[in-house]
A and B are shown apart, each in its own frame.
Chain A
């Protein structure tokens, strides 16, 4: 199977039309980080810096691409350096999401 270039898409928001907030972003980030680190999500503390889990600088840079693909949020590659914990990054993403008119996108009107 040839993979299709996947554009930005918004995941099913919890509770359908509810806007994505810090909690949802934190859940997604925790899951992502668990995949990166080969740990279970329960092991990831939202206030521990990514680097302390062994996520190196370059791998952390690649997170911004996942965020872009997943939520159509266009951020600096260094976003995970400047907001280096699940809690801090989730807050940043929620703010960006709200600023970019998030809830309107959550019901499927996202532009790539």
Chain B
């Protein structure tokens, strides 16, 4: 079933909490799922088999690109006021999961790349630049993001690609950009270029370069890079030689490039991890399918305790990841003064958790893990794609380097003193204020997510006793441990030597960033759980998502999620009631059999 049950519309409208918008989103995802069809049907021309074949050929599946064009996926990346469907960052991640769970190359190569480029224009472009980018994307065109130079990695302030200002107010482009997705077939590029010789953060600018406005013979393409993962993506280089562009190509002000990048990254770092959860869904789904169907020692793999524990653990990790992704994407709208650290934390932690979870799942698959085709081939492809999409525009180290310098001040002035994050941050289907990139602060000045851990243990006991049930004791103990961990981190960060705030930071500082990200994830899980409403209202009104609401409102997943986080943090673990694994395994299996997504949204899938 791909559409919300009949008769649910009226109840949702009656509640007046963004229900109409939520229905629109659900219909959009259902529409996309329907167009793609069941990925596991071997006869589906858009199924896993066809996608794997295209991957082996190093191509994006043409039929799948046609489907995305028909769906107007690009409209997801264009703000509503410019004719698109982009209103909310959390929604974008949610919709794109439908693409990423089938093929990350397609998700990046057809879609997300254009958004990564366009965001600078939405953030700082002129009305005319926005109009042109909207027109390009809505017309099915592509935008490439040309920031990267191999020699400098994420140290993009060292970039050497030059845009020399000319007497007529324009620029002369000279230099090379490498490993740029879609650089050949994109109609326009967003270029990060040096516009001043001085060292520092005011020497670069962003330019919107439309290829059809360039003179002949001033640009050439460099050979495509063969990659281990996302093989369908067309990553090549581009070289400009004395190529003039008009002054109106400048996005924002001259010298604003680094600032614009840091602002734009807050949105892209938040949303890309949310998208790639679709790949995690496929990895788990594939492993569940294997565990159910494969007979070993005269029983199904599922009957092996280790396999059961791994599947349940993976599902819990996906929920943890989604809670953090939810908080980070909604923070873009709700907490623009804090998003700088949350975006970096989710971009750091989510791919890491997903990679480790995928490794755990690979053990369940055994030798089938190595097979590139067939029924379980999607798993191996996910393993290859994941590190590529994780690296993308912000590697792990770059994200840690964004978090670490901010920790001492947050420790001293924000933690345990500021207000907790608003409930809206955790409402998975709740409405949000409009997206306004200009409000994103370069440095976080508050930290409501971390602050929400303060007093969480007491709050659980006092206000949620009824819902915690037999898990109350364990939950209170876990919440206490997490708060104690934040206290410990506060002491360490407040005393952090200045040297640790630079790229010369000690391993200890990096470990601090890791602990911080885990604490944010824990706070997000708690927030999501606290904001679950009972499935039945006082007047007997039925929530259309009753099943998933019941699951998310129960204390089991939260307890297991916090236990997994506490374990990573090296905190003492409480004893859990005996039925937790059974409860979660039931959910894993019913979501498999009923084709519903392994995330917070419990979305009906086409298979």
Residues of A at the B interface (CB closer than 8 Å) are: 1-3, 5-6, 32, 35-38, 49-52, 54-62, 64-65, 69, 77-78, 81-82, 84
Instruction: From A56, A61, A84, give the contact of B442 (CB < 8 A).
Output: A61
Hey, which chain B residues are within 8 Å of A59, CB to CB?
405, 501-503
User: Given the known A-B contacts A49-B200, A82-B202, are A54 and B502 also in contact in the complex, defined by CB atoms under 8 Å?
Assistant: yes
Assess whether B413 is interfacial by the CB under 8 Å rule.
yes
Hey, which chain B residues are within 8 Å of A2, CB to CB?
487, 490-491
Instruction: From A38, A50, A64, give the contact of B504 (CB < 8 A).
Output: A38
Q: Is the CB of A56 within 8 A of B155?
A: yes
Q: Is the CB of B443 within 8 A of A62?
A: yes
User: Given the known A-B contacts A52-B199, A58-B402, A81-B201, are A3 and B494 also in contact in the complex, defined by CB atoms under 8 Å?
Assistant: yes
Assess whether B412 is interfacial by the CB under 8 Å rule.
yes
User: Given the known A-B contacts A5-B417, A61-B405, are A84 and B200 also in contact in the complex, defined by CB atoms under 8 Å?
Assistant: yes
Hey, which chain A residues are within 8 Å of B199, CB to CB?
49, 51-52, 84
Q: Is the CB of B412 within 8 A of A6?
A: yes
User: In the complex, what residue of chain B is closest to A80 when comparing beta carbons?
Assistant: B201
Most chain B CB inside 10 Å of its own CB: which residue of A6, A58, A61, A64: A58
Residues of B at the A interface (CB closer than 8 Å) are: 155, 157, 198-202, 258-259, 262, 401-402, 405-406, 408-409, 411-413, 417, 441-443, 487, 490-491, 494-495, 497-499, 501-504
Q: Is the CB of A51 within 8 A of B502?
A: no
User: In the complex, what residue of chain A is closest to B415 when comparing beta carbons?
Assistant: A5
Hey, which chain B residues are within 8 Å of A54, CB to CB?
502-504
User: In the complex, what residue of chain A is closest to B199 when comparing beta carbons?
Assistant: A51
Complex formed: what's the CA distance from A81 to B443 in Å? 13
Q: Is the CB of B262 within 8 A of A57?
A: yes
Q: Is the CB of B502 within 8 A of A36?
A: yes
User: Given the known A-B contacts A3-B411, A57-B157, are A62 and B406 also in contact in the complex, defined by CB atoms under 8 Å?
Assistant: yes
User: Given the known A-B contacts A62-B405, A81-B200, A84-B202, are A32 and B498 also in contact in the complex, defined by CB atoms under 8 Å?
Assistant: yes
Hey, which chain A residues are within 8 Å of B490, CB to CB?
2-3
Hey, which chain A residues are within 8 Å of B498, CB to CB?
32, 35-36
Q: Is the CB of B412 within 8 A of A3?
A: yes
Complex formed: what's the CA distance from A50 to B502 in Å? 12
Interface of A is mostly: helix
Q: Is the CB of A56 within 8 A of B200?
A: no
Complex formed: what's the CA distance from A82 to B120 in Å? 21
Instruction: From A38, A50, A56, give the contact of B401 (CB < 8 A).
Output: A56
Hey, which chain B residues are within 8 Å of A38, CB to CB?
499, 504
27 pairs of residues in contact across A and B, judged by CB atoms under 8 Å: A2-B490, A3-B412, A5-B413, A36-B501, A37-B502, A38-B499, A49-B199, A49-B200, A55-B502, A56-B155, A56-B157, A57-B201, A57-B262, A58-B262, A58-B402, A59-B503, A61-B443, A62-B409, A62-B443, A65-B408, A65-B409, A69-B409, A69-B412, A78-B201, A78-B442, A81-B258, A84-B201
CB distance from A44 to the nearest CB of B (A): 13
Interface of B is mostly: helix
Complex formed: what's the CA distance from A87 to B441 in Å? 27
A51-B201, A62-B408, A81-B202 provided; 20 other pairs, C-beta below 8 A? A2-B490, A3-B490, A3-B491, A35-B497, A37-B502, A49-B200, A56-B503, A57-B258, A58-B401, A58-B402, A59-B503, A60-B201, A61-B442, A62-B406, A64-B443, A77-B443, A78-B201, A78-B259, A81-B259, A84-B198
Hey, which chain B residues are within 8 Å of A82, CB to CB?
202
Complex formed: what's the CA distance from A69 to B490 in Å? 17
Hey, which chain B residues are within 8 Å of A36, CB to CB?
498-499, 501-502
Q: Is the CB of A51 within 8 A of B157?
A: yes
Q: Is the CB of A37 within 8 A of B499?
A: yes
Q: Is the CB of A35 within 8 A of B200?
A: no
Most chain A CB inside 10 Å of its own CB: which residue of B200, B406, B413, B441: B200
Q: Is the CB of B443 within 8 A of A65?
A: yes
User: Given the known A-B contacts A3-B411, A57-B157, A81-B258, are A62 and B501 also in contact in the complex, defined by CB atoms under 8 Å?
Assistant: yes
Hey, which chain B residues are within 8 Å of A65, CB to CB?
408-409, 443
CB distance from B289 to the nearest CB of A (A): 43
User: In the complex, what residue of chain A is closest to B406 when comparing beta carbons?
Assistant: A62
Complex formed: what's the CA distance from A69 to B344 in Å? 24
Hey, which chain B residues are within 8 Å of A49, CB to CB?
198-200
Complex formed: what's the CA distance from A65 to B414 in Å? 12
Hey, which chain A residues are within 8 Å of B487, CB to CB?
2
User: In the complex, what residue of chain B is closest to A64 when comparing beta carbons?
Assistant: B443
CB distance from B338 to the nearest CB of A (A): 14
Complex formed: what's the CA distance from A58 to B155 in Å? 11
Complex formed: what's the CA distance from A47 to B558 in Å? 54
User: Given the known A-B contacts A1-B491, A49-B200, A57-B157, are A35 and B443 also in contact in the complex, defined by CB atoms under 8 Å?
Assistant: no
Complex formed: what's the CA distance from A5 to B157 in Å? 33
CB distance from A77 to the nearest CB of B (A): 4
CB distance from B256 to the nearest CB of A (A): 10
CB distance from B412 to the nearest CB of A (A): 5
Instruction: From A5, A51, A58, give the contact of B200 (CB < 8 A).
Output: A51
Instruction: From B157, B412, B441, B495, give the contact of A77 (CB < 8 A).
Output: B441
Hey, which chain A residues are within 8 Å of B262, CB to CB?
57-58
Most chain B CB inside 10 Å of its own CB: which residue of A59, A60, A77, A78: A59
Complex formed: what's the CA distance from A77 to B490 in Å? 22
Complex formed: what's the CA distance from A84 to B409 in Å? 21
User: In the complex, what residue of chain A is closest to B156 when comparing beta carbons?
Assistant: A57
Complex formed: what's the CA distance from A61 to B490 in Å? 20
User: In the complex, what residue of chain A is closest to B443 when comparing beta carbons?
Assistant: A77
CB distance from B235 to the nearest CB of A (A): 26
User: In the complex, what residue of chain A is closest to B412 when comparing beta carbons?
Assistant: A5
Hey, which chain B residues are within 8 Å of A61, CB to CB?
405, 442-443
Hey, which chain B residues are within 8 Å of A1, CB to CB?
491
Closest 4 pairs (CB-CB, A-B):
A35-B498, A3-B494, A51-B199, A62-B405
